[in-house]
Structure 1
Amino acid sequence: MKRTAPSDAARQRGFTLLEMLIAIAILAVIAVLSWRGLDSIIRARATITNSMEDERVVAQLFDQMRIDARQAATDDEAGQPAVSIDNGSLQIVRGMFAVGAPPRLQVVRYRLSDGRIVRFASPPLANVGEVRRALSSSDTADGWNAVQLMGGVASLASRVYIPQKGWTTRMNDVFSQINENDNNLKVPQLGNAPLPRAVSGIQVAVGARNLAVPITRVFMVGE
């Protein structure tokens, strides 16, 4: 029996409706999976970017604190404790050294205000009298500048290290150490030796709403 060739209509038969529905369903699943994967990548990238920005801000804050602590004046130069702490604040009397200009002093204060750590800095000060006036003045006095260093902060805690005595949050301990150092200098065999620093270290702990525990750093004073 002679075979007949398939007709053009049979050779050109397209997809059935069921096959089209199955293909569309497969494409929909692939699209959903692809979108979820892309969304996860975008979210992860945003998280990494935010984390890197947070780390940069924290590093900038602590770097500035380290510089201020390293350039802290002596208690003699400040006419009172060069490093002072209070609830949510840190104050340092530091030296300013510029090329072609005589050395000056400056009062800097780190305060927690409305969830932000702000660094207030006085204008350059030429003598102890000007330092005392700056210490008793407000952060908003003429010549002071303020720089916001970090936001989203829940707490700012500081304590100081007194040689041979350890860490303390009490300024009375600092004043007692200054008096002790001053009395020791009156012993004849010590002559005109400089007054030792009452505070040799500062510990700062910054707590943020997105941190399980505060970030803590220790800075040497005058080193």
Structure 2
Amino acid sequence: MTFAMRRHTANAGFTLVELLMAITILAMVAVLSWRGLDGILRARARLTTQTEQARNLQLAFAQMQRDCDHLAPTSLLQGQSNLQTDDDRVTLVRISSAENAATQLLVVSYRVQDGSLVRRESAATRSLPQLQALWQAALSDQGALAIVTLQTDVRQMTTRYWIDQRWQPTANSSASNNTPLGLAVELTLQDQPSRITRQFLLGAW
């Protein structure tokens, strides 16, 4: 009888304490696994965001390069400005690059608006009075034929000119009689401690 009771006790299975310990261990493993998976997903999301941001910036600067390359020479404009920079804004007149077409001019502006870098483009024209009207409209954010958001999460855009053999703030360019040969654009993004700078040659076309 005693032997039978001992055998029954030995085959009775886990005790309550052992079950609680096993459940606790499984719960800890589940939590650690979830945290590990969550960390992987967060890292992948950050990497995806950074990759998309880098791609957008590359495209934005490539578009700026094309616009600066095709900056209209002042000799075509009869006194009309071909480039103006203000706080968070660049406005320029460029030559239309349409193939097999007569030379036309259009106004392009870049502006930081509501946290995004936006490019605006006017209709192309061969009329200088119409170009002047398009220029004034661009300075007022009106009359754009195409509006494209190039980059989000932009906090600030600053510019400098290459003039008199050095880079200097565009606000100081009026003190020089020389025409700027280059334009430097600096973008400050949200949650980014450093600025992203690109330099463009003006009128290389």
TM-score for both structures, normalised by structure 1: 0.78
- Structure 2 residue runs of 5 or longer lacking an equivalent are none
- Kept after mapping to 2: 8 A contact 1:119/1:148: yes
Code of the residue aligned with 1:109 in structure 2: it is S
SS at match of 1:199: coil
| 1:72-114 residue CA offsets vs partner (Å, 9 max, x unmatched) | 1112123334222122211111111223322211110112222
SS at match of 2:192: coil
Tell me what 2:111 maps to: 111
Partner Cα separation in structure 1 for residue 173 and residue 71 of structure 2: 17
Code of the residue aligned with 1:92 in structure 2: it is L
- Structure 1 residue runs of 5 or longer lacking an equivalent are 178-197
Tell me what 1:56 maps to: 55
Tell me what 1:191 maps to: none
Partner Cα separation in structure 1 for residue 145 and residue 155 of structure 2: 25
| 1:35-87 residue CA offsets vs partner (Å, 9 max, x unmatched) | 11111111111111111122122222212111111111112123334222122
TM-score for both structures, normalised by structure 2: 0.84
Question: RMSD over aligned Cα, in angstroms?
Answer: 2.5
| 1:105-126 residue CA offsets vs partner (Å, 9 max, x unmatched) | 1110112222222212110011
Tell me what 1:156 maps to: 157
Shift, 1:31, TM fit: 1.2
SS at match of 1:28: helix
Shift, 1:208, TM fit: 2.1
- Kept after mapping to 1: 8 A contact 2:94/2:108: yes
Partner Cα separation in structure 2 for residue 7 and residue 115 of structure 1: 77
Q: 1:7 to 1:88 in 2, by over 3 A?
A: closer
Q: 199-208 or 165-174: which moved more?
A: 165-174
Code of the residue aligned with 1:32 in structure 2: it is V
SS at match of 2:112: strand
Code of the residue aligned with 1:206 in structure 2: it is L
Partner Cα separation in structure 2 for residue 91 and residue 14 of structure 1: 81
Tell me which structure has the larger Cα radius of gyration: 1
Partner Cα separation in structure 2 for residue 89 and residue 96 of structure 1: 21
Shift, 1:219, TM fit: 0.9
Tell me what 2:84 maps to: 84
Partner Cα separation in structure 2 for residue 155 and residue 122 of structure 1: 24
- Kept after mapping to 2: 8 A contact 1:77/1:128: no
Q: 1:67 to 1:132 in 2, by over 3 A?
A: same
Partner Cα separation in structure 1 for residue 166 and residue 201 of structure 2: 16
Shift, 1:212, TM fit: 0.7
SS at match of 1:160: strand
Tell me what 1:13 maps to: 12
Code of the residue aligned with 2:15 in structure 1: it is T
SS at match of 2:149: strand
Partner Cα separation in structure 2 for residue 23 and residue 113 of structure 1: 57
Tell me what 1:39 maps to: 38
Q: 1:165 to 1:23 in 2, by over 3 A?
A: closer
Q: 1:172 to 1:110 in 2, by over 3 A?
A: same
Tell me what 2:66 maps to: 67
Q: 1:7 to 1:153 in 2, by over 3 A?
A: closer
- Kept after mapping to 2: 8 A contact 1:163/1:200: no
The share of aligned pairs that are identical, in percent, is 33
Q: 1:67 to 1:173 in 2, by over 3 A?
A: farther
Code of the residue aligned with 2:200 in structure 1: it is F
- Kept after mapping to 2: 8 A contact 1:110/1:120: yes
SS at match of 1:217: strand
SS at match of 1:108: strand
Partner Cα separation in structure 2 for residue 151 and residue 128 of structure 1: 34
Partner Cα separation in structure 1 for residue 108 and residue 89 of structure 2: 10
Tell me what 1:135 maps to: 135
